Structure 1
Amino acid sequence: MIARDDDATEALATAATAALHDAANAFDGAAALARMLGAHRRGALCEVGFWAPELLERRVPDGDVFLEVLTPEAPLSLVTSRQMARFRRTLAPVARVEAFCFTAVEGMTPGTRETVGSFYALAWRDAEGAWRRILDPLAASLPFGAFAPAEYYDVASMQATRGDRAYFAALRDASPGGADPVKLGPAANILQVHAPTATAGMTLASLARHIDMLADRVRRGVELAPADRVFLGYEAVQLLPVEPTTVYEAGPAFWSEIESGGDDALSVDLRRPDTTNWGYDVVIAGAAAVNPALLETGRPDELIDLAVALHNFPGAPKRLIFDVVFGHADNQGLDALNSHYFAGPNMYGQNMNYRNPVVRAIMLEMQRRKVDYGADGVRVDGAQDFKWWDSDAQTLRHDDHYLQAMADVVQEVAGVRYRPWFIFEDGRPWPQEDWELSSSYRAVIENQRDDDVFQWGPLTFAHNTPFLYTFWLSKWWRIREMLDVGENWISGVANHDTLRRGTQINPKLNINTRLGETRMEILDKAYDNAAVQMLTYAALPGVPMDFLNATARASWGFIRNQDDRWGVKIVAEEAISLKWQVDEYSYSRPGAFRRLKDLGFETRDQLARFFDFLPALVDVTGYDLEIIAKLLNDVDPPLEGPSPYDTTLLKRVARAWMDDMHDYCNVSGYLEHLGEAQTAMMLSLREFRLARPWLRRNLRAGEYFDYRRPVQGAVVITGYRRSPDDREEVLTVVHLEGDSTGAFDPAHLCPPAVAGASVDAWRVRLRSPQIGADYEGGELVLHDGMGVVLTRG
């Protein structure tokens, strides 16, 4: 039986009152209260807290506010696509302290890996007798998404059984002076991963199993295949966001109440969440939980399992980095959170109200709870979007104090207190028109207290197109900055944003056709380029990051299948990626683009002709779907494929494109095509960097980096680095674009001022795949994308 414990409830109310009255300021009080919000297990009791200022605004009396507990009458299965479930509904009175509601109840079932727990929400009755709900934004488990009642989950038990406790104990033991909390520094390099397209299983559980399989192969010393190598040689894995994202705008909902059996029973049509998203379309609510669409079992334990698999990797543990999105909320967030969370609309949806002390405290508490899954680092998306309105100056200001507060949050995992490594994506003054020129990419680095704060560097930010002629020389001024101040930048040209932007470029521009015979090959080689990677890993400062879909030469794009209103427009903007990423053979393969084929687009050419018209019609009609459909029906000669077009059919085509592209981008479909030489060289290059952590630092006096002058039709760059103890020198010579060079000896490019010992002392350590394994030095001819790394000492 569900029953309120009056004494425990009163104790919660007393503690909340003390937090409000005794705190030094409003934020400190809110921070103390934020720790109490959500559902927490205290022995046999469940203590629950909500922030509900809307109840005060609506003048809802105490007698109309309750904790609603929904207990399944039969065991639920979270691995079933759809089910009808009946819940016993119990209402427990709450104690109210200003805008906060608290209660402690016994009888609720805590969720575990094996058991689905009780569901809950804050329920209130309006003046007409209708029941309304306030959902828990700080929930630990959301099996049916952020727009459904939360599951009461036993987080403490989940943490107590994690299998990487020794890893965290080792962090504490290795901390200088026994620091508490331990401060974690930067990784040597990063693999960026979108979990739903990283494995055929498309879940965090399947990714964890894949990491365990790789660990077993490494442990047994078996010969590595190309498919293994693209995951190895990294010190850290950074996941694209794993927070709950938007849901289907036009339905179906994952939690649909179809029948009420009075006040004590409820029947619900439950659907397993199956949205696809690249991760950045968040609603903020539920940010402390895991996106249920990524969970094979519906249990948040899967995220800890992944952390454990990485931390226990043989040889050297791999770190886990979370990518968090708190700079904006999709407009759907308005249906999940009260109005106090928002500061007004922006290009993504809604600005967050960072100046409200309770909102500020809750968002930092969401972050703390999420990172407590065991992340070693945190990447903050869109840090330039954290702004507030200065009414005195009548201007928007960047909230650098909030960014510092994010970096100051102390985590506790397996009894070890620590502060993670922080990375910020911040392109301020973006979206100012001249942001690419005026952004220093150092605003957060220069404002934060820690000396190991990182930002995404200029070649890692969006709008980088290394497959266009003159790209490298046009970015030379940025490369020079990397040499001088780049040691706290994330480097590399391939990530989720740059690869996506690359597929949106008009293929009629000045494309570097020397990279490949087809557009697909050009794109693949531009973002998985031996010469560029040699530059990044053997010559440039900073921390290199690779995107799995780029190194696996898998496709990638904007993936989001929830839109109803804007879905057709989004697909029109993405349509050009068909020209870059899909050829006739890829489209014709059995199982590929099956939804579009079922609609009638039997060939790529049929789809391509439709996509030739769609973007123009979206533009000229002002996105009027009815007019677009009419004009498509009037095309002469008629379009092949589905017909006649109407608003509904256009939306079906848009949804089919998104779902088919999600499948098409899955890395598992590309691994069998990876080359032996390319993957072996790239792995060796990553291991080369891991063995030389000093390469992360800015260039020192006596080191050298420049391109050949005169250019003579080819961008040939030489980088010379020397270890701080002067025991080793590294010489990197790469050809980035242009005509082939004449025959020359790369060792002779070592600057005379630092040449030192005989040229014959240089040893070839790494060669691009086009250079034969028998090359041990001397003259050679370099073509686009080729390079060598030599060492001496």
Structure 2
Amino acid sequence: MSLAERITFDDAASTSRAEACEQILTNAPSRFEAEQEIARGLGGQVDGDGLASFGFWVPELQDLRVPSGDIFLEILSPTEPLDLTRAHQDVRFERIYVPAIRLEAHAFACVRGMKAGSREQIGDFYSLVWRDAEDQWHRVLDPLAMSLPFGAMAPAELYDVDAMLAARGDKAYWQSYSGDAPHKFGPCSNILQIHIPTATAGGTIASLTRQFERLASRVEAGLPMDPADQIYLGYEAVQLLPVEPTTVYEAGPDFWQESDGTEDGVTVSLLRPDTTNWGYDNVIAGMATVNPVLLESGRPDELVDLASALHNFPGKPKKLVFDVVYGHSDNQGLRVLNSHFFAGPNMYGQNLAYQTPAVRAILLEMQRRKVNFGADGVRVDGAQDFKWWDSGAQVLRHDDEYLQSMADVVQEVAGTRYRPWFIFEDGRPWPNEDWEMSSTYRAVIETQRDGDVFQWGPLTFAHNTPFLYTFWLGKYWRIRECLTKGSNWISGTSNHDTLRRGTQVSPKLNINTRLGTTRMEILDKAYDNPAAHTLTYVALPGVPMDFLNAMARASWGFIRNQDDRYGVKVVAEEAISLRWQVDEYSYSMPANFSRLKALGFETRADLARFCTFLPALVEVTDYDLEDIARLLNTTEPRLSGPLYTPETLKEVARAWMDDMHEYCNIGHSLGGLDPVQLDFTLALREFRAARPWLRDNYGADDHFGYVEPTDGRTLFTSLRHGPDGEQVYSIIHMEGKETADFDPLRLKIPGLEGMGWECVLRSPGIGRDYVSGPIVMRDSMALVFTRPGRGAPSS
């Protein structure tokens, strides 16, 4: 049956949708509440009984006064089976146009006979199109689409979301939280942050799911755990870096390219999306669904599968936290969203028009649909960027009401209504020059109604450099803040941002060479440091978070290969990371840096010389690619690599990004992990999980300080008291020269006196036979002792 024979326009249902929209706009208490109700019906939805409903917010068509007679729903159906795992295919699509009804800024269409996508089949594709006075056709893509096999810049696939969610494998988990009122998720004991493309050799959500399923089987069977298993164990929650569709290649090719188009069909050259991105370069459109680059099968069901694997983990379910980016849009968002979504440019691309009721409602609806995949928590990126222009006062104001609205959204999964745990990254007054000094990291905590709202704390935010001497004493004033205000902070020094910033630091600074003999060793140990972990997990309040790449001692950086205009500049900024993360041996491995080698950079020294010249020339030429290329070609002796032109510079930049993306996969580093270090960090996580009270702020009897005189070292001491009387004492050598022989239990700390202490945790470098007494402590060493209170069990 042809598409034209299969599809029928349901005039009555379409008219009913438009009339319902009009009634909502007329009767709702406010325009925002009206738009919230209307947003529930936007996008393409399977309504049952063979009906598919479509709604679009199209203020641009209202501006242009485009009549309903020139607005249509475009439906595209492949004439042969699609294979979403193929790199390239040319496919002929049947195409029909069915009427759409525009009511002011909204357009609706209902049809019967459309094929909805599922795990087993690929559905029909759609968009809204309109015809201008010169009979030219224009396409409006669906920002609320639930399946985008070819990215946010291509027509969407109609998807049976209800069927996908109904088939989820973690229903029992969700039903355990059901009740008369929505369940409110609170904080967990700790978090493992994961970037999916570098977390497994497969680089997909499906491959990460298999990793957790295999791990679950091993745990259930009581099998021994090797290092590749241990880095995932002991975490109560998994936080994914953003999984939404990101930018596409600026200079092409597009993943959906049409040719030979007629009214009843079109040939499309389809490319499997293959961009590399760290996740934060979003275009807002498609935020309700999953980045197709991350989908092994091309089916969004993979995200539900991951949630189920985590929630069904034996012993204690693992919670899932989504990282969402609504504080800005990349400039590419202008290609897919109408201009009413935007409030002007910013350093990342475009500000969003949060004060526009429809925009506000659509963003919250995108969030609701995304979290319904099965997330227990939500981390909001860059909350300080949610701003609006107060024209009366002529100032930008933070939109704290919108942030509250995000936390107020009620989700529903497997029949259970709930509100997720919310975490905000907010460093306001960033980007003011004094933000590191003046930010309280509590702006959202202090304005939100829920007492369990969290923010990233000062030791977790960007620009942390724990491999520089005096870092820890320099941050001591922030550590003191953590003691009294840190219960609602995410803590820890390793995350996607701090590790990236660390690789951008000049190696000429005052590097702590006691951390290792090479720069790679120094960087690895700085962000996977036994002392820093002990400080985070034992001494400080809050919820610790670790970044998987740091725990696996794998590389990491600002990874995105879509840039054409500024790609060379981005590589110039990242070039210094070569000194930190790549040594001669790593570069020489045949599988590493194959693209750069093919361009003529046969050795690391060849690439290092180029990376020394490039940043300087980017600065002195004010990023003029013609001048940069000319000057690179005049060096003596000649630089390795191709003959430099603006185009070959872009080739080098693309090769750098693609090679570094592969190099950062943790699969390369798993074989070299230290089992002693892994045993210690796992023991720390288990220690923290067994003592949830360690999340609380310090009480009157608790102690934190450093041993004085410092005498060339930073030696932190912490004594904490549990509600059952248990005492936890830690002594942590953060940096500097080794101590003399001393007894940690004989320091003059109030509450430390007396007998009964048991040494329960010893960092690598301290033998298991150490129980107490004199010891020499060196950089990165730590000890943890416990003493039971009356009636409290020993550790």
Please indicate the TM-score interval, normalised by the length of the shorter structure.
over 0.9
Q: Which residue of 2 aligns with 1:682?
A: 681
Q: Which residue of 2 aligns with 1:227?
A: 228
Paired letter, 2:752: A
Q: CA deviation at 1:750?
A: 6.4
Q: CA deviation at 1:25?
A: 0.5
Three-state SS of the structure 2 residue aligned to 1:444 is coil
**Counterpart-to-counterpart distance in 1, 2:748 and 2:780:** 20
Q: Which residue of 2 aligns with 1:625?
A: 625
Q: Which residue of 1 aligns with 2:243?
A: 242
Residues 121 and 133 in structure 1, CA contact (< 8 A), matched pair in contact too: yes
Matches within 5 A, 1:72-221: 72-172=78-178, 178=179, 180-221=181-222
* Aligned equivalent of 1:736, options 734, 737, 746: 734
**Counterpart-to-counterpart distance in 1, 2:754 and 2:776:** 24
Three-state SS of the structure 2 residue aligned to 1:535 is helix
Paired letter, 1:709: E
* Aligned equivalent of 1:62, options 68, 77, 81: 68
Three-state SS of the structure 2 residue aligned to 1:706 is strand
Change over 3 Å in CA distance of 1:170–1:651 after alignment to 2: same
* Aligned equivalent of 2:14, options 6, 9, 13: 9
Q: CA deviation at 1:190?
A: 0.1
Paired letter, 2:602: E
Change over 3 Å in CA distance of 1:756–1:774 after alignment to 2: closer
Residues 188 and 544 in structure 1, CA contact (< 8 A), matched pair in contact too: yes
**Counterpart-to-counterpart distance in 1, 2:747 and 2:323:** 41
The answer to whether 1:22 aligns with 2:27 is: yes
Q: Which residue of 1 aligns with 2:667?
A: 668
Q: Which residue of 2 aligns with 1:713?
A: 712
**Counterpart-to-counterpart distance in 1, 2:434 and 2:296:** 44
The answer to whether 1:777 aligns with 2:754 is: no
**Counterpart-to-counterpart distance in 2, 1:67 and 1:657:** 42
**Counterpart-to-counterpart distance in 2, 1:54 and 1:394:** 27
Three-state SS of the structure 2 residue aligned to 1:446 is coil
Q: Which residue of 1 aligns with 2:747?
A: 749
**Counterpart-to-counterpart distance in 2, 1:755 and 1:769:** 24
Three-state SS of the structure 1 residue aligned to 2:786 is strand
Residues 699 and 721 in structure 1, CA contact (< 8 A), matched pair in contact too: yes
The answer for unaligned runs of 5 or more in structure 2 is 1-5, 789-795
**Counterpart-to-counterpart distance in 2, 1:681 and 1:220:** 23
Q: Which residue of 2 aligns with 1:791?
A: 786
The answer to whether 1:391 aligns with 2:391 is: yes
How large is the RMSD of aligned CA atoms in angstroms? 0.8
**Counterpart-to-counterpart distance in 1, 2:414 and 2:214:** 25
Q: Which residue of 1 aligns with 2:653?
A: 654
Residues 572 and 611 in structure 1, CA contact (< 8 A), matched pair in contact too: yes
Paired letter, 1:621: T
Paired letter, 2:21: A
Q: CA deviation at 1:756?
A: 5.0
Residues 718 and 749 in structure 1, CA contact (< 8 A), matched pair in contact too: no
Three-state SS of the structure 1 residue aligned to 2:177 is helix
**Counterpart-to-counterpart distance in 2, 1:777 and 1:380:** 45
Three-state SS of the structure 1 residue aligned to 2:478 is helix
Q: CA deviation at 1:259?
A: 1.4
Matches within 5 A, 1:382-781: 382-642=382-642, 644-726=643-725, 728-749=726-747, 751=749, 753-755=750-752, 757-758=754-755, 761-781=756-776
Residues 745 and 752 in structure 2, CA contact (< 8 A), matched pair in contact too: no
Q: CA deviation at 1:27?
A: 0.1
Residues 235 and 318 in structure 1, CA contact (< 8 A), matched pair in contact too: yes
**Counterpart-to-counterpart distance in 2, 1:364 and 1:49:** 16
**Counterpart-to-counterpart distance in 1, 2:56 and 2:129:** 11
Paired letter, 2:411: Q
Q: Which residue of 1 aligns with 2:42?
A: 37
Matches within 5 A, 1:273-352: 273-352=273-352
Q: Which residue of 1 aligns with 2:792?
A: none
Residues 46 and 160 in structure 2, CA contact (< 8 A), matched pair in contact too: yes
Deviations 1:236-265 (A, max 9, x none): 0000000000000000100000211x2111
Paired letter, 2:23: A
Deviations 1:574-599 (A, max 9, x none): 00000000000000011000000111
Deviations 1:542-567 (A, max 9, x none): 00000000000000000000000000
Paired letter, 2:27: D
**Counterpart-to-counterpart distance in 1, 2:752 and 2:74:** 76
**Counterpart-to-counterpart distance in 2, 1:754 and 1:790:** 13
* Aligned equivalent of 1:53, options 55, 59, 77: 59
Q: CA deviation at 1:725?
A: 2.2
Q: Work out the number of aligned pairs and report it.
A: 782
Residues 720 and 750 in structure 1, CA contact (< 8 A), matched pair in contact too: no
Q: CA deviation at 1:648?
A: 0.9
Paired letter, 1:156: D
Three-state SS of the structure 2 residue aligned to 1:358 is helix
Residues 426 and 444 in structure 1, CA contact (< 8 A), matched pair in contact too: yes
Paired letter, 1:554: A
Residues 731 and 750 in structure 1, CA contact (< 8 A), matched pair in contact too: no
**Counterpart-to-counterpart distance in 1, 2:182 and 2:19:** 30
Three-state SS of the structure 1 residue aligned to 2:133 is coil
Deviations 1:512-554 (A, max 9, x none): 0111100000000100000110111011000000000000000
Deviations 1:669-713 (A, max 9, x none): 110100110001100110000000000000001010000111111
Three-state SS of the structure 1 residue aligned to 2:307 is helix
Residues 85 and 272 in structure 2, CA contact (< 8 A), matched pair in contact too: yes
**Counterpart-to-counterpart distance in 1, 2:783 and 2:180:** 42
Deviations 1:614-652 (A, max 9, x none): 00000000111011101000001111232x111111000
Q: CA deviation at 1:179?
A: 5.0
**Counterpart-to-counterpart distance in 2, 1:74 and 1:141:** 19
Q: CA deviation at 1:130?
A: 1.3
**Counterpart-to-counterpart distance in 2, 1:402 and 1:535:** 35
Residues 71 and 101 in structure 2, CA contact (< 8 A), matched pair in contact too: no
**Counterpart-to-counterpart distance in 2, 1:301 and 1:91:** 29
**Counterpart-to-counterpart distance in 2, 1:358 and 1:640:** 54
**Counterpart-to-counterpart distance in 1, 2:123 and 2:62:** 30
Three-state SS of the structure 2 residue aligned to 1:274 is coil
Q: CA deviation at 1:749?
A: 3.0
Residues 230 and 552 in structure 1, CA contact (< 8 A), matched pair in contact too: yes
Residues 721 and 731 in structure 1, CA contact (< 8 A), matched pair in contact too: yes
Q: Normalising to structure 2: TM-score of the pair?
A: 0.98
Paired letter, 1:661: M
**Counterpart-to-counterpart distance in 1, 2:480 and 2:458:** 11
Residues 170 and 312 in structure 2, CA contact (< 8 A), matched pair in contact too: yes
The answer for unaligned runs of 5 or more in structure 1 is 173-177
Q: CA deviation at 1:747?
A: 1.8
Paired letter, 2:476: W
Identity %: 65
**Counterpart-to-counterpart distance in 1, 2:98 and 2:748:** 77
